[in-house]
Chains A and B, each alone.
Chain A
Amino acid sequence: MGIVSPGFQGRRRTGGPALPPGQYLTDDFPVLSAGPTPKVPLDTWEFVLSTEAGAEFRWTWPELTGLPQETPTVDIHCVTRWSKLGTRWQGVSLDTLLDGVDTAARYALAHSYGGYTTNLPLDDLRGGRAWVVHTYEDGPLPAEHGGPARLLVPHLYFWKSAKWVHGIRLLVDDQPGFWETAGYHDYGDPWREQRYQGD
Chain B
Amino acid sequence: MTATTTVAGLASWRVARLVQRRTETPTAQTLILHVPGWPGHLPGQHVDVRLTAEDGYQAARSYSLAGPADGDRIALTVQRVPDGEVSSYLIDVYAEGYPVEVRGPLGGWFVWRPTESAPVLLVAGGSGVVPLMAMIRARRAAGSRVPFRLIYSVRTPADVCYADELRRRARDDQGLDVAYVYTREVPEGWRGEPHRIGLADVNTHGWPPELEPLCYVCGPTGFVETVADLLVGLGHANRRIRTERFGPTG
Contacts and interface: CB of A to CB of B under 8 A. Distances in A.
A and B touch in the complex (CB under 8 A): yes
Interface of A: 1-11, 13
Interface string B86-102: 00010001110011110
Nearest to B16: A3
Contacts, number: 50
B50 A2 contact: yes
B85 A3 contact: no
* Interchain residue pairs A-B with the least CB separation, the first 4: A2-B52, A7-B93, A8-B51, A5-B51
Interface string B52-80: 11111111000000000000000000000
A2 B54 contact: no
A10 B98 contact: no
Dominant secondary structure of chain A at its interface with chain B: loop
Given A10-B51, A10-B85, A5 B98 contact: yes
A13 B57 contact: yes
B81 to A, nearest CB: 13
A107 B188 CA distance: 67
Nearest to A13: B57
Contacts of A2: 13, 50, 52, 58, 101
Interface of B: 13, 15, 50-59, 85, 89, 93-95, 98-101
Contacts of B99: 3-5
Contacts of B93: 7-8
A5 B15 CA distance: 10
Contact of A1 (B52, B95, B100): B52
B15 A8 contact: no
Contacts of B53: 4-5, 8-10
A2 B85 CA distance: 17
Nearest to A12: B85
B57 A7 contact: no
Contacts of A5: 51-53, 89, 94, 98-100
